[in-house]
């Protein structure tokens, strides 16, 4: 099996920029150098990208961030009405790969949430350390408020990190929750001025790097067992429930 090489996979993805220094890989999501606009192409790319960076043994710690004023807060996933073939052969496969490949990355991941996380806000919450800019907030914008079942892993991650009842309320109401409130309930770890966000992420990454590599990788494995089990057991079912309802109703535009 060929081991992924940064020089090769850094050229594969239009939606991702990479910078590696001393084994620490900075992964920056973007759309043509500006704030991410999440679409089906990005969904496919980022899922494969997680597989590449996780299999590259030169990556020791990963920092995940966004571009501009948002982490992910814009989307363009309007399409014709969904049928079972489109859902199973396209959306289901991409969505399942995205979160599965991310949770199976063996290296610790630090999220540096540079702004609102209203689309795939579960991604930073799956990371091992979650840092947030003061102006950031979380919301599940694409799903229930647009008439879709809240799936894609948000049905797993938000109730886990926010608490069961609060997470369900959050998903059913489309509530916005500020970074400070996420900190207060223990869903994230630090809230910082935006200009201090990446320096703090690099500082924490270097602290982790001081430990033996096998210890670091096994630590990530040990502390994520419950999350891995739930993703393995519940992600596919959630996506299928979303798909059944989406075949009946798919929004003509996303609010």
Active-site residues, by number, are 122
Q: Are the C-beta atoms of residues 125 and 157 closer than 8 Å to each other?
A: yes
The upper half-sphere exposure of residue 164, i.e. CA atoms within 13 Å in the direction of its Cβ, equals 0
Q: Are the C-beta atoms of residues 197 and 112 closer than 8 Å to each other?
A: yes
H or E stretch at 212: none
CA–CA distance, 41 with 121 (Å, rounded to integer): 18
The vertex-94 CA angle with 151 and 136, nearest 5°, equals 55
Closest CA to 244 of 148, 120, 143, 153: 148
CA–CA distance, 227 with 40 (Å, rounded to integer): 25
C-alpha gyration radius of the chain: 17
**What are the DSSP calls for 107-132, one per residue?**
S-EEEEE-S-B-SSTHHHHHSSEEEE
CA–CA distance, 207 with 200 (Å, rounded to integer): 11
């Amino acid at each position: 099996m060929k081991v992924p090489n940064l020089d090769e996979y850094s050229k594969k993805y239009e939606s991702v920029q990479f910078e590696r220094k001393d084994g620490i890989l900075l992964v920056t999501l973007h759309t043509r150098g500006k704030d991410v606009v999440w679409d089906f192409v990005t969904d496919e790319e980022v899922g494969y990208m997680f597989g590449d960076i996780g299999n590259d043994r030169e990556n020791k710690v990963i920092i995940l961030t966004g571009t501009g004023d948002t982490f992910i807060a814009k989307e363009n996933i309007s399409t014709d009405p969904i049928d079972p073939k489109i859902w199973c052969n396209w959306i289901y496969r991409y969505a399942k790969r995205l979160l599965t490949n991310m949770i199976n990355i063996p290296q610790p991941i630090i999220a540096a949430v540079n702004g609102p996380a209203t689309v795939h806000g579960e991604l930073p919450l799956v990371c091992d350390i979650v840092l947030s800019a003061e102006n950031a907030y979380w919301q599940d914008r694409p799903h229930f408020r647009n008439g879709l079942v809240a799936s894609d892993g948000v049905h797993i991650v938000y109730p886990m990190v926010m608490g069961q009842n609060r997470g369900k309320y959050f998903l059913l109401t489309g509530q916005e929750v500020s970074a400070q409130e996420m900190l207060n309930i223990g869903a994230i770890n630090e809230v910082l001025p935006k200009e201090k966000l990446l320096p703090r992420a690099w500082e924490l990454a270097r602290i982790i790097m001081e430990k033996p590599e096998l210890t670091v990788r096994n630590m990530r494995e040990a502390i994520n067992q419950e999350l891995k089990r739930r993703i393995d057991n519940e992600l596919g079912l959630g996506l299928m429930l979303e798909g059944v309802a989406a075949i009946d109703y798919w929004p003509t535009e996303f609010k």
